[in-house]
Amino acid sequence: MKFPFRQSRSAQRARSWRWLVPVLLVLLFLAVLVWLPWQARQMEATERQEQLIADTLWVEQTLRFELARSEEALAGLGADLVARPPAPAALQARFKQMFNNGHELVRIVWYGADGQPLASHGLEPPAALPAPTRLALEVASATRRGRYSEPYGATTASPGTLDYYLPLFSGGKPAGSLIATYSLQVLLDETVPWWFAQDNALTLLDRDDRPVARRVAGGPGRGVYTHRRELDLPGALVVLSTDSVKRAPQLLPNLLVGSVIVLALGLVLSLGALWRHISRTLAAEAALRQQMAFRTAMENSLITGLRARDLEGRVTYVNRAFCEIVGLPAEEIVGKKPPMAYWAPEVVGESEERFRGVLSGNVIPQFETMFLRADGRRVPVLVFEAPLVDMDGKHTGYMSSVLDITDRKRAEELNRQQQEKLEASARLATMGEISSMLAHELNQPLAAISSYTAGAINVLENSGKSGEPVNAGMLRHALEQARQQAQRAGQIIRSVHQFVKKREPRRETVGIRSVLDGVRALVELQARQAGVVLRIDIAPQLPPVLADRVLLEQVLLNLTRNAIEAMQDTRPDQRVLRIAAAHEAGSVTVSVIDRGHGIAPEVAAGLFSPFYSTKAEGMGMGLSICRTAIEFHGGTLTHAPNPGGGTIFSFALPAQAADRALG
């Protein structure tokens, strides 16, 4: 009796399990049907929020770009106002152009160093600056950088404004300021696109979350999707707040029917998408093979060597041009780690140091080095290196472009030799021009030597005839004078020899005073011949410069000779040549000042051009060589009109730090 009962209970349990599995599957299906729309709603809400954040960021960058563009325009205007203020009409035209470019501008005021307005455009300048603007003025003057004020003037009926204060400086001293006033409402209306304003309510808030400008073209926001973004303005805290007018997404109606249809359509679409994906994959593979063949052909046709390395410095790829530069096949380069076989022995230490920097992440983007070909020939190369990044943004190695610069180095060496020859020729030409004056200058000490030695002989002869003892004092005086005149003639000859001899440029620490002393005799010779008075004014404690003495002497001799020739038609009492040297802003400035006829504007345009000359017999290379020599030392050569009439030629050289100043 118990056995049938046991069998019935077992059958019931089996039937319960058979029903339980379908029920669980149905419940799981229903749960999926409920979960999928809810998840879709959540994803849609997240997507809308992320889109709102991205759009807000884009609007914030657009607003900042508009203000940055106005800042750059104001900076350019300020630099022009300090360097050379334009005429009032031109200044107003420039103001008008800035207003046309940025409609948010409502006022621009140019204040002088005394704080008084010099020019303005737009609204009238305020009688007194608002408190936020005064605070921005104080901070900007202290930091010497442009600064925004906090927004001010906002009420329930009118939006707020924003001031940008730009201090102006000339030679390190305050030279006035520019204040631009922006309408925040116009900035919001002109910058934000209409489609974004239709979907979102935008508000600009100040530091205390008070609205200073608002745009609600599509109606008030619903508070579902919101985002706040601060504008990166120096000195001001302005927040862009966006509130979407969209509602939260709703659940789909008829979930079950819709889900079945969607699942069926999804199956068909998935099959179509699978077929399309397979077709696209095959097409992409074919295109990739074609692109690889094209890239290989293109790389093999380049004359620029390409080399790829991994993060450990192992070479992973080289093209044909790189193999030709180093004279090695690709199989002997790929897979190798430094030291490389093509490193020249003299640069091995430098290359290993550079390689250690690459391993530590400090890559030198551009450098020159020397490669050693397999045949023993050295090849100077210019290398450009950049990181290799894969499609996931991961750093995988470095790519190098290598240029063979043998021809460029040869051209540079040839140009250097030609420049040296040209400088030597210019020195010889200079000495040829003053040769007659040299002969006159040498005749004086030689004639004096002859006179003093003849006098000494006469003293000796007269003493012998009369039997009286020789007058030792008179004889010593005559010989001492003869010795001094001989030293003077020797100094002139040595100066000429040092000036005209061919030599390699050699930089050394020299003082401007010693350079002037080296050519002073030649300059005085020319000045005396032309009836010019020479005046030299050298500031005390003048720092030394790192320069080639002979090149600086040539520059000074060329500039002084031009200055003396420019005063040929000047009244004799006005013929004054001044040479001044001073220390200004880390540079030693030497000026050659004449009172000649000056330089016409049409002549000034080509003054430093090679072979340009205003003299019938001139070569037109003097000033060109002078500028080349000064730029060789890292300096600049300029000219300006002399307020007293004539021209001022000045060259500035970087001053060198030293334990003591040199004259």
Under 8 Å between Cβ of 202 and 188: yes
Crossing angle between the packed helical segments 406-433 and 622-632, to the nearest 10 degrees? 130
Residues in contact with 396: Cβ distance below 8 Å, sequence separation at least 6, in sequence order: 310, 311, 388, 389, 390
* DSSP class of 123: S
Q: What is the C-alpha to C-alpha distance for residues 633 and 507, in angstroms, rounded to an integer?
A: 9
Return phi, psi of residue 60, to 5°.
-60, -40
- The SS3 of residue 72 is helix
Strand blocks (E) in 459-585: 508-510, 533-538, 545-547, 576-584
DSSP letters of 386-422?
Answer: EEEE-TTS-EEEEEEEEEE-HHHHHHHHHHHHHHHHH
Q: What is the C-alpha to C-alpha distance for residues 521 and 431, in angstroms, rounded to an integer?
A: 13
Tokens of 478: 């005559």
Tokens of 458: 């006469």
CA distances to 60, 67, 209, 299 from 98, rounded to whole Å, are 22, 12, 31, 48
Which mean pLDDT values do the consecutive 10-residue runs of the chain (663 residues) have?
Answer: 48 57 65 66 78 86 89 90 88 90 90 88 85 83 88 83 90 88 89 84 88 85 84 87 78 54 65 76 82 71 78 83 84 83 81 78 78 83 82 81 79 70 60 54 61 67 68 69 67 57 68 85 80 90 87 84 88 90 90 88 66 44 74 87 89 72 37
Strand partners of residue 595: none
Using only C-alpha atoms, the chain has a radius of gyration, in whole angstroms, of 43
Q: What is the dihedral of CA 579, 580, 581, 586, to 10 degrees?
A: -130
Residues in contact with 168: Cβ distance below 8 Å, sequence separation at least 6, in sequence order: 78, 81, 82, 174, 175, 176, 177, 178
The pLDDT score that the predictor gives to residue 157 is: 74
Strand partners of residue 244: 200
Q: Which domains does the chain have, with CATH numbers?
A: 1-247 (3.30.450.20), 304-404 (3.30.450.20), 405-504 (no CATH), 506-663 (3.30.565.10)
Residues in contact with 443: Cβ distance below 8 Å, sequence separation at least 6, in sequence order: none
Q: What is the C-alpha to C-alpha distance for residues 584 and 1, in angstroms, rounded to an integer?
A: 123
The pLDDT score that the predictor gives to residue 3 is: 42
Crossing angle between the packed helical segments 549-566 and 472-500, to the nearest 10 degrees? 100
Q: How far is CA 603 from the centre of its chain?
A: 31
* DSSP class of 620: S
Q: What is the C-alpha to C-alpha distance for residues 599 and 268, in angstroms, rounded to an integer?
A: 87
Q: Which of 336, 333, 342, 404 is nearest to 372 (CA)?
A: 342
Tokens of 539: 């500031």
CA distances to 429, 620, 622 from 432, rounded to whole Å, are 5, 16, 14
Tokens of 200: 């979102």
The pLDDT score that the predictor gives to residue 236 is: 87
CA distances to 92, 94, 95, 119, 556 from 86, rounded to whole Å, are 9, 10, 12, 11, 36
The pLDDT score that the predictor gives to residue 123 is: 86
Q: Label residues 100-139 b or e (16+ Cβ within 10 Å = b).
A: eebebbebbbbbeeeeeeebbbbeebeeebbebbebbbeb
Under 8 Å between Cβ of 343 and 351: yes
Q: What is the C-alpha to C-alpha distance for residues 463 and 51, in angstroms, rounded to an integer?
A: 118
Q: Beta strand pairing status for 576-584 and 533-538? A: parallel
SS (H, E, C) 315-364: EEEECHHHHHHHCCCHHHCCCCCCCCCCECHHHHHHHHHHHHHHHCCCCC
